[in-house]
Amino acid sequence: MITRLYEFYRMLAERAFEIKDTGNLILLRDISAKEVKLCLYDYVNNNIVGYVTADNASKDEFFTIDRVSADKGWGPFMYALILQTLYPKYIKPSYIIRPAALKVWKEFFSNDNIITKELSTDDKNYTASWEPAKGFDPDGYDDRYTYVINTLFSMTPYEWYQPFLIDSDNAIRDNNINAKQIFRQCLDFFHDKYYATSESITVPTKDVSDKYLMVLEKGSSIQLMIQCKSKIYGYAEVLNKQTYFQIINIAAEPGYGPYLYDTLMLWLDKPVRPSHSITSEALSVWMNYLNNRPDVIKKNVTKDVWDEIDLDQRMSTSSSAIEPLNYLYTIKDKKRSTDVTDWWYNSEQQFVNQMVERLPGWKEIRFNQAKMWFNNKYPVYA
């Protein structure tokens, strides 16, 4: 396998690496009429090296690139793999594109194995303008190169391609590799790679110097509340599900929602899962965690996977709405976790204990009031 791939790697001249590090790599494939998923996988070290998907949900004559992410230096190879996998069908670049991806497509024009076909300006799929990927300056997209995203590409397979597939299938069989499980991990790999830019991280902050953090643990339930002496700013209730906490109720005053979610994850010692019944506002928070917060650790749910949700009091089967709810989320930031713990401790010492001395059942009463506040203000579970 190493010898067969060497010439192509050298042709790419994308990175200087030891040829020996290709010996462990195999290709995992998940192919249907609507979608193609490929994963370049190091089966010895159990590492995902690259992931690419293309879809044809609209039943066009070509597939369109959907997701691409790879360890440094392997990006061009992932494009070449999916082009060869779909040959003789064509692939169109996404119009939401990064400069590095644009460079790869431009270089493919000089590849003798590439067949191209340009879309006409009156084609329904013709794209007149760029949509830069998140975190990139739109000024870096030169209008002279819009022809790239309006070109269909196909690649004649190299001599090493079919033997590579055979070697990969043999390795999958001989090592009992669970391809479905690895593809579930690929989404985490994609999000961590694609969104891991400093521009994409926006950590919610609030001045809580005049507010208190209260926690009530009762059986398998944990309730958390942010309040000042007279007003509730946020309330959450979770149930302990052994390996994670399931959110049951959560609501906040305007502007405090994302901060409450972060506080909850920093306080708890296990990941949280969103509720099955959710509002559009809450869904947007979880979508932001999934797509734009590389500091938040995401892990696919493997049991009790939902295929429909209660969104704004209506059942929904939208895949984009369901996807964020089938993940577990946690934040492992020692400094921020310590800040939250100190905030809770100071709240107990400066406020809660004083109130309990006056009225022993005050804390339970206050949390019952918080639940009533939630039911009155947010009758829909978030």
Q: Is residue 239 part of a domain?
A: yes
Between 139 and 58, where is the model more confident?
58
Long-range contacts of 2-10 (CB under 8 A, 24+ apart): 4/159, 4/160, 4/163, 4/164, 5/160, 5/164, 7/160, 8/77, 8/80, 8/158, 8/160, 9/77
Q: Note the pLDDT of residue 17.
A: 33
Q: Note the pLDDT of residue 22.
A: 54
Looking at 172, 198, 224, which one is the last position of a domain?
198
Say how far apart CA 3 and CA 6 lie, in whole Å: 5
Residues 194 and 293 in one domain: no
Other Cβ atoms within 10 Å of 1 Cβ, number: 17
Q: Note the pLDDT of residue 299.
A: 84
Q: Is residue 204 part of a domain?
A: no
Residues 366 and 305 in one domain: yes
Say how far apart CA 38 and CA 32 lie, in whole Å: 12
- pLDDT above 60: residue 7: no
Q: Note the pLDDT of residue 142.
A: 65
- pLDDT above 60: residue 85: yes
Q: Is residue 205 part of a domain?
A: no
Residues 193 and 326 in one domain: no
The DSSP code for 255 is T
Residues recorded for the chain: 382
Domain residues for the domain of 335 are: 212-377
Between 298 and 29, where is the model more confident?
29
Residues 109 and 234 in one domain: no
Per-residue pLDDT band for 214 (boundaries 50, 70, 90) equals very high
> What CATH number does the domain containing 290 carry?
3.40.630
Exposed, middle or buried: residue 214 (CB in 10 Å: 0-12, 13-18, 19+)? buried
Looking at 163, 198, 233, which one is the last position of a domain?
198
Q: Residue 296's beta-bridge partner residues? A: 331
Q: Note the pLDDT of residue 381.
A: 40
Looking at 168, 198, 228, which one is the last position of a domain?
198
Residues 171 and 245 in one domain: no
> Do the bridges between strand 277-278 and strand 309-311 make them parallel or antiparallel, or are there none, so unpaired?
parallel
Between 187 and 357, where is the model more confident?
357
Q: What is the pLDDT of residues 20-79, one digit of tens each?
A: 345 789 999 999 988 999 999 999 999 999 999 998 877 788 999 988 888 888 989 999
H or E segment to which residue 194 belongs: helix 179-194
Q: Is residue 207 part of a domain?
A: no
C-alpha dist (Å) from residue 130 to 96, 133, 270, 305: 7, 9, 41, 36
Residue type, 341: T
Residues 120 and 217 in one domain: no
User: What is the rounded average pLDDT of the residues 281-285?
Assistant: 86
User: What is the rounded average pLDDT of the residues 249-259?
Assistant: 90
Residues 251 and 184 in one domain: no
Residues 347 and 265 in one domain: yes
Between 311 and 207, where is the model more confident?
207
Between 250 and 291, where is the model more confident?
250
Maximum Cα–Cα distance across the chain: 83
Q: Note the pLDDT of residue 12.
A: 43
- pLDDT above 50: residue 330: yes
Say how far apart CA 112 and CA 310 lie, in whole Å: 52
Q: Note the pLDDT of residue 201.
A: 60
Q: Is residue 339 part of a domain?
A: yes
Q: What is the pLDDT of residues 87-125, one digit of tens each?
A: 999 999 987 777 778 888 989 999 999 999 999 988 888
Say how far apart CA 318 and CA 323 lie, in whole Å: 9
Q: What's the whole-number average pLDDT of the chain?
A: 84
Residues 128 and 60 in one domain: yes
Q: Is residue 382 part of a domain?
A: no
Q: Note the pLDDT of residue 11.
A: 46
Residues 171 and 223 in one domain: no
Q: Is residue 203 part of a domain?
A: no
Q: Note the pLDDT of residue 132.
A: 60
Residues 111 and 235 in one domain: no
Q: Note the pLDDT of residue 204.
A: 86
Number of domains in the chain: 2
Residues 217 and 194 in one domain: no
Q: Is residue 357 part of a domain?
A: yes
